[in-house]
């Protein structure tokens, strides 16, 4: 830019320029509307020349930031005052008037925006949201609603693309906060709607605008912290609609998959996509568009994005990926990780280093994929001896991420720690991890850091925190456990299946101590109830309840089985302290001498001052059922099965014979005699607590009360049934 030999006043230049623009606007309004190609009035042409002269004076302004602000004001005046003059459209599209636009664009091109934004991120942030204000001006809104004059539509599209491109450049230099788009959701949704309305249009200007809009939104969504707000713009429904459409141009297909992938990078985005059946639509897109039998390099980028999105959306227990089918994608992910690691800003192309690492966490649940990536993946230009060393070096690079306010660096460190934790479960990699002294020092430092200097960190649900992962790595490397304390069996293989009572029962029988993870769902589960009853009441084994939720408290049948302080709750104390409490409780049990189980006490009914007939009712029922043998009510059944072999039909007959309320039969839904007998043992310690629990359920379910004497009948009948169980089985089964 040429410089003036004399001192210039930028404020005077800008005032003169804005005055000439105001004069031009007023002069146009003095004339009748010009829509019939009439010659432009000489006075208007003279005003246009004055504007052009003033624009040329901008070359004397030396401050790029000052010039940037002046250009921004020009755009605001241009869009607000001139593009709204639809009745003068012939003036607006004339060669003379378009010289103003061309001159502004020439000045705009001389400004080094990247340097301005890089040196002053606060200014960059302010500039970004000021451009958002331009997008909200009526002329732009009308364009996005397809309501602009056809003759000027192409011109407005050109301005919109220029503004969106500038916003993309600014996005790379600023750090967003979670509520930044609070006032921008409506305009972003309007951008989505414009794309949706015009997808099948063949007009070149429209297609270019669609691509620019999608590129802008993709760059916006690349900032994961913004995704919860972007979900309010219906981005999920629009994106899934587009990938489900046939015959879309390649550029729009790619932009749609990129957008979907970025939404899936946030937990809330992932939930929204899964709630909208994204997995099914993605698989249909793959069958329709990504034919794996065709080696088309054009679609290589889309295949990678597709695989990354699929990995993020799929729960580990539902994932059936294998290294053989994903070999090429895994090579690409490893190469992407290496490439980004070697860049100063840890970005390569469109990707940050955290992105492939987060995907690896989901994929490394499969051992064959983990082994392939560590041992076999084809990677170029890796400057260290092994993939293990590569990941360890990255951990040391990002060691201080938790002390800085950089969300991506924090996510990178968290992902790396979770990856190495997964690797440390495999014996074949232990020695290499333990031989890296600097790495071990770093891990121990992270595990023992009190976290006072750390900023608040968001940890996705499928990851563990850095501190927890560090402790897990040290444990696997035997750095924190010099001796094996005891053998542990965990039901990993079958924990998601439905009917494995026999295997579960055998596991309980072989164990010295059983830990049950207590949740509301667990308490409501009939099969879980059977496990606890079998452990605590039948086998009399040590049973340690472990609460995994901070605010859940067991009640009813589960609550009465938790004696005194002998339970563990995670969430209230630090994780390590809670683990120590759990180990202490286990060791206390190991140190106790085995003692014989105490004889079970008969059901003890305590009198209730507010219900004087309770004692008498129970006594009457008990006496009637314990009369001489000839007076016992007998119910003949068609088989001679023992009570333990009863099925649901036998139990129904038993309920009916003893005149127990049929609603109780529905509530308990006993399926076999063993359940009935075990429940009887559960009633012995405190049947009245169980009555209070069942009474509440009964009232809510049937909107009618369950009286104490009605429940006493059930208690008495089960008590008699247990006594009958000890007698020899005859050909006629007596059901009390």
* Collapsed DSSP state (helix, strand, coil) of residue 222: coil
Report domain 501-591's class. alpha beta
pLDDT digits (tens, 9 = 90+) for 4-29: 445 678 899 999 999 999 999 999 99
In contact, 416 and 394? CB cutoff 8 Å:
yes
Of 279-293, 381-395, 634-648, 673-687, the least confident = 634-648
pLDDT of residue 579: 83
Q: Is the dihedral of CA 382, 383, 386, 389 positive or negative?
A: negative
pLDDT at 453 over 60: no
What average pLDDT does this structure show over 580-589? 78
Q: How many other C-beta atoms lie within 10 A of the C-beta of residue 24?
A: 25
Please give the share of the chain, as a percent, with pLDDT higher than 70.
Answer: 80
* Collapsed DSSP state (helix, strand, coil) of residue 212: helix
Contacts of 180 (CB under 8 A, 6+ apart): 129, 226, 229
pLDDT of residue 629: 35
pLDDT at 262 over 50: yes
pLDDT digits (tens, 9 = 90+) for 26-63: 999 988 775 566 788 899 999 999 999 999 999 889 88
pLDDT digits (tens, 9 = 90+) for 314-342: 876 555 566 677 888 899 999 999 999 99
pLDDT at 604 over 50: no
What average pLDDT does this structure show over 536-558? 77
pLDDT of residue 360: 93
Question: How many CA within 13 A on the CB side of residue 375?
Answer: 11
pLDDT of residue 457: 54
* Collapsed DSSP state (helix, strand, coil) of residue 602: coil
pLDDT of residue 590: 59
* Collapsed DSSP state (helix, strand, coil) of residue 152: helix
297 falls in which pLDDT band (50, 70, 90)? low
535 falls in which pLDDT band (50, 70, 90)? confident
Contacts of 221 (CB under 8 A, 6+ apart): 227, 230, 235, 259, 262, 263
pLDDT at 395 over 90: yes
Per DSSP, 596 falls in state: P
What's the rounded Cα separation, in Å, for the pair 269 and 585?
A: 41
pLDDT digits (tens, 9 = 90+) for 114-126: 888 888 989 999 9
Please give the share of the chain, as a percent, with pLDDT higher than 90.
Answer: 36
Of 180-184, 370-374, 656-660, the least confident = 656-660
In contact, 554 and 562? CB cutoff 8 Å:
yes
Per DSSP, 611 falls in state: B
Provide the Cα torsion 391, 392, 396, 398; round to 10°: 20
pLDDT digits (tens, 9 = 90+) for 685-727: 667 777 877 888 888 888 888 887 788 888 888 887 766 665 5
pLDDT at 177 over 60: yes
405 falls in which pLDDT band (50, 70, 90)? confident
DSSP 57-94: GGGG---HHHHHHHHHHHHHHIIIIITT-GGGHHHHTS
pLDDT digits (tens, 9 = 90+) for 460-496: 777 888 888 998 999 888 765 545 556 676 654 444 4
**CA 404, chain centre distance (Å):** 23
* Residue listed under structure tokens 């950089």: 406
pTM of the model: 0.64
**Alpha-helical segments (H) within 457-571:** 466-476, 501-510, 520-524, 526-532, 556-559
Of 129-143, 148-162, 197-211, 523-537, the least confident = 523-537
CA-based nearest residue to 100, from 17, 43, 176, 175? 17
Question: How many CA within 13 A on the CB side of residue 202?
Answer: 1
Average of per-residue pLDDT values in the chain? 81
pLDDT of residue 1: 45
- The domains of the chain are located at 351-476, 501-591, 614-725
In contact, 71 and 104? CB cutoff 8 Å:
yes
* Residue listed under structure tokens 């304390």: 485
Looking at the DSSP assignment, which residues form a beta bridge with residue 545? Answer: 516
Which of residues 421 and 523 earns the better pLDDT score? Answer: 421
* Collapsed DSSP state (helix, strand, coil) of residue 284: helix
* Residue listed under structure tokens 């039969």: 665
72 falls in which pLDDT band (50, 70, 90)? very high
pLDDT at 444 over 60: yes
pLDDT of residue 617: 36
């Amino acid at each position: 830019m040429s410089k003036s030999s004399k001192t210039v006043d930028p404020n005077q230049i800008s005032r003169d320029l804005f005055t000439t623009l105001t004069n031009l606007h007023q002069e146009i309004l003095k004339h009748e509307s010009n829509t019939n190609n009439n010659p432009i009035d000489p006075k208007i042409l003279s005003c246009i020349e004055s504007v052009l002269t003033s624009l040329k004076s901008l070359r004397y302004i030396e401050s790029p930031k000052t010039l940037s602000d002046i250009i921004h004001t020009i755009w605001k005046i241009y869009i607000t005052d001139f593009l709204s003059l639809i009745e003068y459209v012939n003036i607006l599209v004339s060669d003379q008037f378009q010289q103003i636009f061309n001159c502004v664009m020439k000045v705009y091109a001389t400004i080094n925006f990247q340097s301005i934004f890089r040196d002053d991120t606060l200014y960059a942030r302010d500039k970004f949201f000021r451009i958002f204000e331009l997008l909200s001006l009526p002329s732009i809104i009308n364009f996005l609603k397809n309501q602009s004059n056809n003759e000027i539509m192409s011109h407005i599209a050109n301005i919109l693309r220029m503004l969106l491109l500038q916003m993309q450049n600014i996005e790379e230099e600023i750090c967003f906060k979670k509520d930044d788009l609070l006032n921008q959701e409506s305009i972003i949704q309007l951008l989505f709607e414009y794309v949706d309305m015009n997808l099948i249009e063949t007009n070149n200007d429209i297609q270019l605008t669609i691509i620019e809009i999608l590129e802008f939104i993709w760059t916006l969504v690349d900032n994961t912290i913004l995704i919860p707000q972007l979900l309010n713009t219906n981005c999920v429904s629009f994106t899934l609609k587009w990938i489900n459409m046939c015959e879309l141009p390649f550029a729009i297909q790619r932009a749609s998959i990129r957008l979907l992938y970025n939404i899936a990078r946030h937990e809330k985005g992932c939930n929204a996509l899964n709630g909208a059946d994204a997995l099914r639509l993605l698989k249909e897109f793959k069958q329709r568009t990504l034919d794996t039998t065709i080696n088309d390099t054009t679609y290589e980028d889309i295949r990678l994005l597709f695989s990354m999105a699929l990995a993020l959306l799929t729960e580990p227990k539902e994932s059936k990926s294998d290294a053989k089918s994903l070999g090429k994608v895994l090579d690409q992910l490893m190469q992407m990780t290496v490439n980004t690691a070697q860049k100063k800003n840890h970005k390569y192309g469109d990707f940050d280093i955290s992105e492939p690492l987060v995907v690896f966490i989901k994929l490394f649940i499969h051992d064959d994929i983990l082994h392939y990536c560590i041992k076999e993946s084809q990677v170029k230009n890796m400057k260290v001896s092994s993939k293990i060393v590569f990941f360890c070096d990255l951990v040391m690079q990002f060691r201080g991420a938790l002390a800085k306010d950089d969300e991506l660096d924090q996510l990178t460190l968290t992902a790396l720690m979770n990856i190495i934790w997964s690797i440390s479960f495999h014996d074949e990699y232990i020695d290499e991890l333990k031989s890296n002294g600097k790495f071990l020092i770093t891990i121990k430092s992270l595990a023992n850091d009190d976290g006072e200097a750390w900023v608040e960190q968001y940890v996705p649900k499928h990851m563990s925190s850095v501190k927890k992962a560090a402790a897990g790595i040290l444990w696997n490397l035997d750095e924190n456990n010099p001796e094996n304390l005891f053998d542990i069996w965990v039901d990993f293989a079958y924990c998601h299946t439905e009917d494995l009572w026999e295997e579960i029962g055998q596991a309980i029988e072989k164990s010295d101590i059983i830990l049950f993870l207590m949740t509301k769902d667990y308490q409501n589960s009939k099969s879980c109830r059977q496990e606890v009853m079998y452990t605590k009441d039948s086998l009399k084994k040590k049973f340690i309840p472990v609460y995994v939720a901070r605010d859940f408290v067991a009640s009813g049948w589960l609550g009465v089985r938790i004696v005194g302080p002998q339970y563990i709750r995670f969430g209230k104390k630090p994780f390590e302290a809670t683990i120590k409490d759990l180990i202490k409780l286990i060791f206390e049990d190991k140190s106790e001498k085995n003692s014989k189980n105490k004889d079970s006490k008969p059901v003890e009914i305590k009198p209730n001052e507010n219900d004087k007939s309770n004692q008498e009712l129970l006594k009457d029922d008990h006496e009637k059922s314990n009369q001489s043998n000839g007076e016992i009510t007998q119910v003949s059944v068609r088989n001679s099965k023992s009570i333990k072999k009863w099925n649901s039909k036998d139990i129904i007959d038993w309920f009916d014979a003893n005149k127990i309320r049929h609603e109780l039969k529905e509530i308990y839904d006993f399926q076999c005699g063993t359940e009935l007998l075990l429940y009887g043992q559960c009633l012995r310690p405190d049947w009245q607590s169980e009555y209070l629990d069942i009474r509440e359920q009964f009232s809510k379910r049937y909107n009618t009360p369950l009286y104490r004497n009605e429940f006493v009948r059930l208690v008495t009948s089960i008590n008699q049934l247990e006594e009958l169980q000890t007698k020899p089985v005859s050909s006629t089964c007596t059901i009390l």
